[in-house]
A and B are shown apart, each in its own frame.
Chain A
Amino acid sequence: MDPELVKLAIGGLVLLGCIGLFFGIGLAIAAQKFAVETNPLIEEVLESLPLANCGGCGYPGCEGYAIEVVTDPNVPPNLCFPGKEAVAERVALLTGKKMTAVEDTIAVVRCSRIEGRVSHKHRYIGFSSCTAANLGYGGPSSCQYACIGLGECAEACPFDAIRMEENFPVVNADKCVSCGVCVKTCPKQVMEIQTMKARVWVPCSTRDLGKTVTGVCTVGCIGCKMCVKVCPADAVTYEKDLVKVDHKACLAYGSSCEEICVSKCPRDIFRHYQGPEIVARDGVSGLKMAG
């Protein structure tokens, strides 16, 4: 072999080796000097979370919650809805916080558009999304508070827990972790997170006057406030033209009232909540929630 070539090769190797060594040492010093201190606890908490990044806890993704729950003593350990009891326990153990019970909640659809035979006021042509349809004179449904039915919630659900049946969302109780993404997505605000133990509920979210409601829907709430008057526990309120049930107060009062709100409602829209499996008063399956 030509000794010149060998010299050249060795020289090159030495030169590249020196450059490598120089940058290596530089990087090592930089890594020491500019090291960002991480709390190993955050990593551990993050590992115990489901990493679905649904945002149901109210923080930007699982990492956001992990950082907050470790650094902020006021953030409770039971905010992860998808993780349920097991994750809450683990987070509480890691952060040394007091574990509080995880309430079993589920997303419900507060609309009875199909049962109430709500008609269409116009035909919608355009981009097939509820928010888009809502921009055009409040959507095609005659009731301006009704579910539009283009399935934006089903598409947005990170857990694939909502499917559309006859253009109406149906929540799958096995998959729903009540993260609340559908609540934020729905332009008509018909989705609501409700406790599974609830005794009653109102599958209608209209804020219209009674006269308008009777004109467009056969079952919708007319705002007569009978439920508010008869409730012995003061658990039912009528805020901003919408019926609201305080399930905590309702459950605390117990069953001695025999759900007088349900029997007194003139529109039969105040109903017994029988868990995720709900059948409408005339047996139509349009209101069934569980798949």
Chain B
Amino acid sequence: MAPTLTFPKGGVHPPESKKLTEKLLVEVMPLPAELEIILGQHIGAPCTPTVGKRAEVREGDLVAEVKKGLGVPLHAPAAGTVKAIGKSSHPIRVSAPSITLTVNRDAPPREWGVADWHHLDGQALLKKVHDGGLVGIGGAGFPTHVKLKPPADNPVDTLLLNGAECEPYITADHRVMLEHSAEVVEGARILLKILGISECYIGIENNKPDAIRSMTEAAQAASGADCRIQVMTLEVKYPQGSEKQLIEAITGRRVPAMALPSSVGVVVHNVSTTKAVRDAVVLDKPLIEKVVTVSGRGINRPTNLLVKVGTKLSDIVEHCGGTRPELARVVMGGPMMGFAVSSLAIPVTKTTSSILFLSDDELDTRPLSACIRCGWCLEACPMGLEPKEIGIYVEAHRAEDTGQFGVFECFECGSCAYVCPAKRPLVQFIRLAKMKAKR
């Protein structure tokens, strides 16, 4: 077996906790009675609805699009009637504009035809990616078609597929790679054609040997004279799945501070996004559903669920047999980078990768104390920053002076806060610093 790769600096290894769901087949969740489609599901300008109240929509119909600026359109995840165009709960902004859809559960599911894409050129494929409403569904929500148009002065030569899934608990990408290996690889070939390159690496952490095996087989079957797709085994280390860390682990290239991956000739896409690209191009099926890991010891039946975008957490909880009395915190996203929420009215968005129902023994709720300057956070930081210093500055009301510590290079992976023996909320300090510091 080839040696495992990893990034050189920092990183932590939290308990993986993936046993709860890694062996469970992806389950299709039955349609809920109502869907709430948030209008801003990507980085950029939020969408404007193209349908009015009481409009009848079919599954996959366009319901909102971006008029100006960066963004992708939104589609109806299921057939139904537009009930309202108003506000709904949002995991970060608390409330955000949305379209509420009353689902017609008797409507037959839409049939998606299979189309050949080999005769299409890059432009036509790119348009399909845009029209499919594709964003980076690993969590960032950056419009996929923008990443596929690298600036002319930075030619791209390598495509990386991110299958690291380094966050504890989450097994959604793992299941997608296992159950849809061929589709992911076909998606990779589509991406290679759009970019006009032939080199592709798929990075997978070696705590997923079954996924590595099946992806390697699929990659070998698809590789040919025109493209070379190769699976790279990565060491289990957090944050291996961060873009810059993944690039350095696989290609050895270091992305400069505040620069995009294209500056070193690389484009990174998540494996689930790649599968969605394949669905958008081959089936003409927009991004309306996604695999979400529902896990933690606070829910009765942890599972991997294929849910429609817009499904409310309360519906998912009901489907998973309700919560247990020991539930202490609900987190959208992974335990390291996710957001704790206190409402179950929040709908799933295109970027929701998991919903965790954590019990008291999975959390550390001890109060914060003063920094003891042990330096563990410096060792853990994959970007080589000094989180402790930023925290001390924020506490001393000097957040505006933290630019000198490279606060804007921090991507809030949470490794520092994870290792801190004084329980200091270092990521929170850094978020506060980013609000006030000058670039």
Query: How far does the Cβ of A184 sit from chain B's closest Cβ, in whole Å?
Result: 11
Contact between chains at A127 and B341 (CB < 8 Å): no
Closest chain B residue, CB of each to CB of A156:
B397
Contact between chains at A127 and B342 (CB < 8 Å): no
Chain B residues in 8 Å Cβ range of A135:
428, 431-432
Known contacts: A122-B342, A126-B425, A209-B87. The answer to whether A137 contacts B432 by CB under 8 A is no
Cβ-based interface call for A115 (8 A): no
Chain A residues in 8 Å Cβ range of B92:
137
Known contacts: A127-B425, A132-B432, A209-B87. The answer to whether A137 contacts B367 by CB under 8 A is no
Query: How far does the Cβ of B356 sit from chain A's closest Cβ, in whole Å?
Result: 15
Which residue of the partner chain, among A125, A129, A208, contacts B95 with CB atoms under 8 Å?
A208
Query: How far does the Cβ of B139 sit from chain A's closest Cβ, in whole Å?
Result: 17
Closest chain B residue, CB of each to CB of A126:
B425
Contact between chains at A137 and B428 (CB < 8 Å): no
Q: How far is the CA of A137 from the CA of B332 in the complex (A)?
A: 11
State which residues 85-144 of B face A: CB under 8 Å: 86-87, 91-95
State which residues 197-213 of A face B: CB under 8 Å: 208-209
Q: How far is the CA of A125 from the CA of B339 in the complex (A)?
A: 14
Closest chain A residue, CB of each to CB of B427:
A135
Query: How far does the Cβ of A145 sit from chain B's closest Cβ, in whole Å?
Result: 10
Cβ-based interface call for B25 (8 A): no
Q: Which of B367, B394, B428 has the most CB of A within 10 A?
A: B428
Contact between chains at B428 and A126 (CB < 8 Å): yes
Q: How far is the CA of A135 from the CA of B93 in the complex (A)?
A: 9
Closest chain B residue, CB of each to CB of A120:
B342
Chain A residues in 8 Å Cβ range of B86:
209
Known contacts: A121-B342, A127-B395. The answer to whether A138 contacts B367 by CB under 8 A is no
Contact between chains at A132 and B428 (CB < 8 Å): yes
Known contacts: A125-B365, A127-B425, A209-B87. The answer to whether A136 contacts B340 by CB under 8 A is yes
Known contacts: A208-B95, A209-B86, A209-B87. The answer to whether A127 contacts B428 by CB under 8 A is yes
Q: How far is the CA of A144 from the CA of B432 in the complex (A)?
A: 19
Query: How far does the Cβ of B347 sit from chain A's closest Cβ, in whole Å?
Result: 15
Cβ-based interface call for A214 (8 A): no
State which residues 94-148 of A face B: CB under 8 Å: 121-122, 125-127, 129, 131-132, 135-138, 144
Closest chain A residue, CB of each to CB of B92:
A137
Chain A residues in 8 Å Cβ range of B314:
none
Cβ-based interface call for B70 (8 A): no
State which residues 299-356 of B face A: CB under 8 Å: 339-343
Q: How far is the CA of A172 from the CA of B368 in the complex (A)?
A: 32
Query: How far does the Cβ of B312 sit from chain A's closest Cβ, in whole Å?
Result: 16
Q: How far is the CA of A137 from the CA of B365 in the complex (A)?
A: 17
Chain A residues in 8 Å Cβ range of B91:
137
Which residue of the partner chain, among B95, B342, B368, contacts A126 with CB atoms under 8 Å?
B368
Closest chain A residue, CB of each to CB of B346:
A137
Q: How far is the CA of A132 from the CA of B433 in the complex (A)?
A: 10
Q: How far is the CA of A284 from the CA of B91 in the complex (A)?
A: 35
Chain B residues in 8 Å Cβ range of A209:
86-87
Contact between chains at B431 and A137 (CB < 8 Å): no
Contact between chains at A137 and B340 (CB < 8 Å): yes
Chain A residues in 8 Å Cβ range of B340:
122, 136-137
Q: How far is the CA of A135 from the CA of B341 in the complex (A)?
A: 11
Query: How far does the Cβ of B22 sit from chain A's closest Cβ, in whole Å?
Result: 29
Cβ-based interface call for B238 (8 A): no
Contact between chains at A137 and B342 (CB < 8 Å): yes
Contact between chains at B94 and A137 (CB < 8 Å): yes
Chain A residues in 8 Å Cβ range of B95:
144, 208
Query: How far does the Cβ of B375 sit from chain A's closest Cβ, in whole Å?
Result: 21
Cβ-based interface call for B435 (8 A): yes
Known contacts: A122-B342, A126-B428, A132-B432. The answer to whether A138 contacts B395 by CB under 8 A is no
Q: Which of B86, B94, B429 has the most CB of A within 10 A?
A: B94
Contact between chains at B94 and A131 (CB < 8 Å): no
Contact between chains at A138 and B432 (CB < 8 Å): no
Q: How far is the CA of A163 from the CA of B95 in the complex (A)?
A: 30
Q: How far is the CA of A136 from the CA of B93 in the complex (A)?
A: 9
State which residues 132-174 of A face B: CB under 8 Å: 132, 135-138, 144
A127-B394, A127-B432 known; 15 new pairs, CB 8 Å cut-off, are A121-B342, A122-B340, A122-B342, A126-B368, A126-B428, A127-B368, A127-B428, A135-B428, A135-B431, A137-B91, A137-B94, A137-B341, A137-B342, A137-B343, A208-B95
What are the 8 A-B residue pairs with the smallest beta carbon separation, nearest first?
A122-B342, A138-B94, A121-B342, A126-B425, A144-B94, A137-B341, A137-B342, A125-B365
A-B contact pairs, 28 of them (CB 8 A): A121-B343, A122-B340, A122-B342, A125-B367, A126-B368, A126-B425, A127-B368, A127-B425, A127-B428, A127-B432, A129-B432, A131-B435, A132-B425, A132-B428, A132-B432, A135-B431, A135-B432, A136-B340, A136-B428, A137-B92, A137-B94, A137-B340, A137-B343, A138-B93, A138-B94, A144-B94, A208-B95, A209-B86
